[in-house]
Amino acid sequence: MTVTTIGELPRQGEGDSYLTDGTTLGSWLLTHDHKRIAILYCLSITVFFFIGGAGAALIRLNLMTPQGTLFDAETYNRLFTLHGVVMVWLFLVPSIPTTFGNFLIPLMLGAKDLAFPRLNLLSWYLFATSGLIVLGGLIGGSVDTGWTFYEPLSSGYASGALVVVLFGIFVNGFSSILTGLNFVVSIHRLRAPGLTWYRLPIFCWSTYATSVILMLATPVLAVTLLLVIAEHLWGVGVFDPTHGGDPVLFQHMFWFYSHPAVYIMILPGMGVISEIIPAFARKTIFGYHFIAWSSIAIAVVGFFVWGHHMFVAGESIYSALVFSFLSFIVAVPSAIKVFNWLATLHKGSISFEAPMLYALGFILLFTIGGLTGLLLATLAFDVDVHDTYFVIAHFHYIMVGGMVSAYFAALHFWWPKVTGRLYPESWARFAAILIFFGFNLTFFPQFILGYLGMPRRYHAYPPEFQVWNVLSSAGASILAAAYLLPLFYLTWSLLRGERAPGNPWGATGLEWQTASPPPTDNFARTPVITRPPYDYPEPAA
Amino acid sequence: MSGGVPFLPESASTIAGEFNILFAGLLAITGAVLGLVFLLLFRFCAHYRRGNDAADRGHWGRKSWRWEVGWTTASFVVFLGLYAWGADLYLREHRWPSNATDIYVVGKQWMWKVEHPDGQREINALHVALNRPVRLVMTSQDVIHSFFVPAFRLKQDVVPGRYVSLWFDPTRIGDYHLYCAQFCGTDHAAMGGMVSVLSDADYQKWLAANATGGTLAAQGGVLYRKLGCAGCHETGATVHAPKLAGLYGSAVTLRNGSTALADEGFIRSAILQPAQNVPTGYAPIMPSFVGQLNEEQVMSLVAYIKSLGAKPAAGSPSR
Amino acid sequence: MSVPVLEKQFVDLAHQSETAELGIWGFIATEVLFLGGLFAAYSVYRYLHPAGVAAAAAHTKIVIGSVNTAILLTSSFIMSWASLAASGGESRLAGRLMWIAAALGLTFIGLKGIEYAQEIGENLWPGAGFSLDTAEPKVGEVFYFLYWVMTGIHAAHLLVGVAALAIIGRRANSGAYSRAYHSPVRVVSLYWHFVDVVWIFLFVLIYLPGRSL
Ligand code: HEA
Ligand code: HEA
Ligand code: CUA
Ligand SMILES: [Cu+2]
């Protein structure tokens, strides 16, 4: 086998990439190429994002007035159920892993594909099918349980369409599990010669941590949903209090998945940020080992904090004390990351293209979301603000301000690599800044609302809360417009954008050492890695 | 609270006072950390922007472990402090004073039904007296609800199939929002009302104006005889069944060897799932009354049995 | 005889085989969590209602259950033998043995079907017609709810295993595997053992409580 070191790879000519390797529909729908599968995912989750976003837009419209005149209670309840379910399972959980994970992991490993390409395609089919099933149930039926499906509301009191939705999420779970499995095995087995664990980019570490959670938490959700489905069909089950069952057991099982799942929804974003900050600060990442291992720590400890969603649900005081404590412990690795990112900026040579703007926005918004997470983990504080808009604001700061920003950061950062085109920089900067402001205007008032005591999942509310709600809705309309912008200028770039060179950012990652867009087999020759990642030259003093 | 834009919620309980201090503390600490992060971020971005040749970029920090250990420990210590503070108040939120009046609350889709010990009933409203601690004994007839009074900074999920309690000591006269905070179906947003804190005199007036036939315990007593409980549990019964006087608050040794505290929850399940709570020395012959009683009736029975003599279980959480 | 295909992302066949095995171990890990959730739900319920669960469990069919346990243990043994045969290069022998193991699996399913039929006849199917003559029939109903879900999930896994054994067994019969390349046999074998181990747990949890009292 011939090998070369990175940097010496031959360029291939235009029209010789994975994008041009087959142009029929079948060549896309039956592809085993991880890069094409990534594109399939990207298209599907974009659709789901806008469906979930439309739900959010209608929610915010309704909340403009205290009486919630736009919709009746049931319709409103269906809307936030749709919004939550679609955003979590059809958009945010798959977001970065299935698109950029799929596209980049083999490139970053110096491999020709993932370990199980057919399984990868199967995952996409499972995902797409699950999306259709879930949406069918949500839109066709009357499902109004919220994304948490608490028992006994979700069995004895819910419509039959819920079974369809739950089944869809069940199928979705298999897609998650298989995707996670594929990444874990690939990272273990497919690293190029010389690519030791500590030479892996941080994105691989965080995808690895995410994948472990996908593999070990998702099955518990699957079986929990299965029990609810069975309970629906038989009219009796383990969660049924009239039969001596325990509805709180459902919450334990649900959060045993869903808390780790929130880390599924942030770790990949943290990985992206750890790639972008060094690239735009022209500096080696600070504390590589700490950032790498903190992802693993989050994944592991994250399995033991689920009870912090149940401080007032009737779990014992003793468990509340333990879960609160562990929630603080799990925040430590996140703190480590934030401080290391800041230290990476120190003495950097920083430029502010759109990916960097999103990344900086991520740090600010994630920190706000994370710190309010700490407040929620503080027992007595949570007793007051649990199930209020404070919680809504907390998680939107992390999931929208953090993870969606990271997704957009990734989209812009790797856009030239994926499409072979450059995007229009000033439009992108403008959109990034607009998103940042729209976002804060939407969700900061919700902290105040929550602290004032406005409960969540309310389709109408006392009039004194109106001012903050109107502000929030105003922010949401800015946000909606800002999210639509990339749709336009990126489509434009796809058709008219300037051709991108292999490494437009001058970044060090292995994925930048091949052509843009890469050839089907990724590298002309298997690269041999001889250097640590983020190997930017240090300027003389 | 009409007019003006509200920034802070009203405070009307002893807990709310302590909570406000906790909140101020949390705000100060997290605010400081946030300020630090923002400051460093903006400072570095401004100073080390590409093109600023005045910045000294040499000698990157490479020996990172001192820093790592430093900020990890610092964060951890702050976290411990927050944890302890929140946990301490939480514990006190769950330890009610022994002079608290027990008021019974049943949540159902979509209303709160309240029963006072003297028999007054109200729906989606709760009247209490200033500076007189109250303990709510709550359950749900259908799905999970959550009793939430922001002005008291208190909230408790109300779970079907078990009793939960929530106590407070009102410190300000006025009307405060009562919400259902746990999503419970279509009219979840409408499941609420007002908690009215009255002066002692007004409270007495209110009690008198809303007096009903008998106290809650008396209603339970009627039921007790009607359902035939008396036939087994009274002296002179032919069945060998435990006497219930003095049961409440005592420790019961069960047949399987464990001991249980006879609180409201215990009495409830003794009535509904007797097979699970058989005391030593008795045959498991008591019939289950599950399906024959609604939660309000069970509560009146519980109140009746409590009225037969009690060792008040002060300060012991019932869950 | 089919020639093993080396996929492009692997260096050689050994690399490919080891990767496949790591894959099945990962998959088993997820299955452990899947069934672990189920066992946890069962254990919590049993902890809440020990007497009611024991009384209901006494109505399970211990004879069929025990025979089925023996059948699965035997099939696991035969599967190990098949795996050894394949790694020794005796592809055809491995194929035969896998078919025997699959047949034992089908026998298990058949017996399980008889058991299910009896139970339906005794009104142990949860829902309107459920009846059970114990002190806590409602607890019994939930026990049978769990019984059907747990054994049903196990049976579904077993059927997947039978299908996999049949397919891989067929390939083995046509001599597809050799000393150098037999990872499909190893992979199905790991899965098959896993399904058997799950049954042992089910047997202990579901059939024995009512009896050990
Ligand atoms: C991506 C998603 C995500 C992430 C990453 C997190 C991260 C965290 N979350 Fe959040 N959370 C959600 C999504 C997420 N959460 C969702 C969706 C819900 C609601 C679900 C529902 O009910 O519908 C929720 C609800 C929720 C609750 C329950 C609230 C309630 O319902 O009453 C709690 C309580 O403890 C909590 C805590 C935390 C903590 C401690 C973290 C920590 O991991 C945060 C760690 C980060 C930091 C702390 C910031 C950076 C650190 C520093 C800058 C260090 C310095 C700090 C100091 C020295 C103070 N979250
Ligand atoms: C996981 C990701 C995620 C994302 C990205 C978002 C994004 C947004 N969310 Fe979401 N949200 C959740 C997850 C998410 N949310 C969850 C899990 C819940 C809990 C649900 C529950 O309680 O069960 C929730 C609940 C929730 C509520 C509380 C509802 C309630 O409790 O009553 C609100 C209210 O403001 C809200 C608002 C928003 C807004 C304004 C956005 C914006 O960021 C969205 C912006 C995007 C767009 C607006 C789309 C782009 C524009 C168009 C498509 C054009 C406009 C179209 C039309 C007007 C038809 N969300
Ligand atoms: Cu009752 Cu919400
Ligand atoms: Cu959580």
Residues A255 and A284 sit within 8 Å (Cβ to Cβ): no
* Residue A258 identity (one-letter amino acid): S
List of chain A residues whose C-beta atoms are within 8 Å of the C-beta of residue C146: 238
The Cα A95–Cα A264 span in angstroms is 10
Beta carbons of C136 and B275 less than 8 Å apart: yes
Number of H helices, E strands in chain C: 7, 0
CA dihedral A35, A40, A43, A46 (to 10 degrees): -90
Task: Write phi, then psi, for B12 (nearest 5 degrees).
Answer: -140, 25
Subunit partners of chain B (3 or more CB pairs within 8 A): A, C
Nearest-neighbour CA in chain C from A243: distance (Å):
5
Contacts of C117 (CB under 8 A, 6+ apart): none
CA angle B185, B189, B194 (to 5 degrees): 130
User: Any idea which residue has 């970053």 for tokens?
Assistant: A108
- Identify all chain B residues contacting C45, using CB atoms and an 8 Å cutoff: none
Ranges of residues in chain C with a pLDDT under 70 are 1-4, 212-213
How far is B39 from chain A, CA to nearest CA, in Å? 10
A352 reaches B (C-beta below 8 A): yes
Beta bridge partners of B147: B156, B180
* Contact call for residues B178 and B189 (beta carbons, < 8 A): no
In sequence order, the 6+-apart residues with CB closer than 8 A to the CB of A474 are: A441
Amino acid at A135: L
| Region of residue B52 (left: phi > 0; alpha: psi -120 to 50; beta: else) | beta
Q: Is B183 in the pocket of ligand 3 (CB under 6 A)?
A: yes
Whole-number Å distance between alpha carbons of B53 and B31: 33
Q: What is the CA radius of gyration of chain B?
A: 27
User: How far is B104 from chain C, CA to nearest CA, in Å?
Assistant: 26
Reading the block at residue C178, the tokens are: 């050799």
Is the previous residue joined to B110 through a cis bond, with omega within 30 degrees of 0? Answer: yes
Task: Provide the chain A residues 431-470 that lie in CB contact (below 8 A) with chain B.
Answer: 448, 451-453, 455-462, 464-465, 467-468
Q: How far is the CA of A381 from the centre of ligand 1 (A)?
A: 13
Which ligand approaches the C-alpha of residue A305 most closely?
4
Mutate to test the interface with B, among C136, C142, C213 (most CBs of B within 10 A): C136
How many other CB atoms are there within 10 angstroms of residue C2's CB atom?
9
Give chain C's radius of gyration (CA, Å): 20
Would the CB atoms of A236 and C40 count as touching at under 8 Å? no
At residue C40, the pLDDT reads: 93
- A172 φ, ψ to 5°? -55, -40
Q: Of the ligands numbered here, which is closest to the C-alpha atom of A81? A: 2
* Residue B260: pLDDT over 80: yes
* Nearest CA-CA partner of A253 in C37, B308, B71, B87: C37
Q: Looking at the complex, does the CB of residue B67 fall below 8 Å from at least one CB of chain A?
A: yes
Q: How far is B95 from chain A (nearest CA, A)?
A: 11
C126: cis peptide before it, omega within 30°?
Answer: no
User: What distance in angstroms lies between residue B157's CA and the mean position of ligand 3's atoms?
Assistant: 9
pTM: 0.92
Question: pLDDT tens digit string along B137-174?
Answer: 999 988 999 999 999 999 999 999 889 999 999 999 99
pLDDT of residue A253: 93
Among A360, A357, A362, A364, smallest CA distance to A403 is for A362
Output the pLDDT for position A414: 95
Cβ pair C51:B273 closer than 8 A = no
pLDDT tens digit string along C47-67? 888 888 888 888 888 889 999
CA B124 vs. chain centroid, Å, equals 17
Residue B314 in this model has a pLDDT that exceeds 60 = no
Does C158 or B290 have the greater pLDDT score? C158
Q: Identify the pLDDT of residue B3.
A: 55
> Which tokens go with A207?
């995808």
Give the model's pLDDT for residue C212.
56
| Residue A477 to chain B, least CA–CA distance (Å) | 22
Residue B192: both structure tokens together: 């609420």
CA dist B98 and B76 (Å) reads 37
CA distances to A231, A313, A428, C35 from A224, rounded to whole Å, are 11, 18, 42, 10
What pLDDT does A114 receive? 93
The ipTM assigned to this model is 0.89
B1 pLDDT higher than 50: no
Buried-state track A483-512, b at ≥16 Cβ within 10 A, e below 16: bebbeebbeebeeebeebebbbbebbbbbb
Say if CB B115 and CB B107 are below 8 A apart: no
Tens place of pLDDT per residue across chain A (541 aa): 333 344 444 454 445 788 888 888 888 899 999 999 999 999 999 999 999 999 999 999 999 999 888 899 999 999 999 999 999 999 999 999 999 999 999 999 999 999 999 999 999 999 999 999 999 999 988 899 999 999 888 887 888 889 999 999 999 999 999 999 999 999 999 999 999 999 999 999 999 999 999 999 999 999 999 999 998 888 888 898 888 888 999 999 999 999 999 999 999 999 999 999 999 999 899 889 999 999 999 999 999 999 999 999 988 889 999 999 999 999 999 999 999 999 999 888 899 999 999 999 999 999 999 999 999 999 999 999 999 999 999 999 999 999 999 999 999 999 999 998 999 999 999 999 999 999 999 999 999 999 999 999 999 999 999 999 999 999 999 999 999 999 999 999 999 888 888 889 988 889 998 888 898 888 888 888 888 889 888 776 5
Decide if A215 and C26 are in contact by the 8 Å CB cutoff: yes
**Cα(A395) to centroid(ligand 4), Å:** 10
Q: Are A185 and C19 in contact (CB under 8 A)?
A: yes
Residue holding tokens 């690399």?
C15
Burial of B21 (0-12, 13-18, 19+ CB in 10 A): exposed
C27 and A189: CB-CB below 8 Å?
no
Check if the beta carbon of residue A464 is closer than 8 Å to that of residue A424.
Answer: no
- Banded pLDDT at B313 (limits 50, 70, 90): very low
**Interface touch C138/A184, C-beta < 8 Å:** no
DSSP string of A95-115? HHIIIIIHHHHHHHHT-SS-S
User: Which residues in chain A touch residue B7, judged by CB atoms under 8 angstroms apart?
Assistant: 448, 452
What is the token pair recorded at A435? 């998103």
Tokens of B248: 């409440």
Q: Which listed ligand is nearest to A458 at the C-alpha?
A: 2
DSSP code of B150?
Answer: G
Distance CA B167, CA B135 (A): 4
Give the pLDDT score at A36.
Answer: 93
Residue C157's pLDDT is 94
pLDDT at B295: 85
Tell me the C-alpha distance between B22 and B216, whole Å.
38
Tokens of A337: 């990351």
Using the mean position of ligand 1's atoms as its centre, give its distance from the Cα of residue A398 in Å: 8
Cα angle B92-B97-B103, degrees, rounded to a multiple of 5: 105
Residues from chain A contacting residue B271 (CB–CB below 8 Å): none
Give the distance (Å) from ligand 3 centre to CA of residue B144: 7
Type of residue numbered B213: G
What is the maximum span of chain A, computed from C-alpha positions, in angstroms? 74
> Would you call A387 and B7 a contact, using CB atoms and an 8 Å cutoff?
no
For residue B42 and ligand 3, the question of a CB distance below 6 A is answered with no
Please tell me the distance from the alpha carbon of residue B266 to that of residue B278, in angstroms, as a whole number: 11
Query: What is the secondary structure of B79-148 as a DSSP string?
Result: HHHHHHHHHHHHHHHT---TTPEEEEEEEETTEEEEE-TTS-EEESEEEEETT--EEEEEEESSS-EEEE
What is the distance between the alpha carbons of residues A268 and A263, in angstroms, rounded to a whole number? 9
Q: Atom 1, ligand 3: which residue's CA is nearest?
A: B145
* A90/A98 Cα distance (integer angstroms): 11
| Helix A202-234 vs helix A102-109: crossing angle, to nearest 10 | 140
> Which ligand 1 atom lies nearest to the CA of residue A324?
35
Cα separation values, A488 from A104, A144, B241, Å: 24, 34, 79
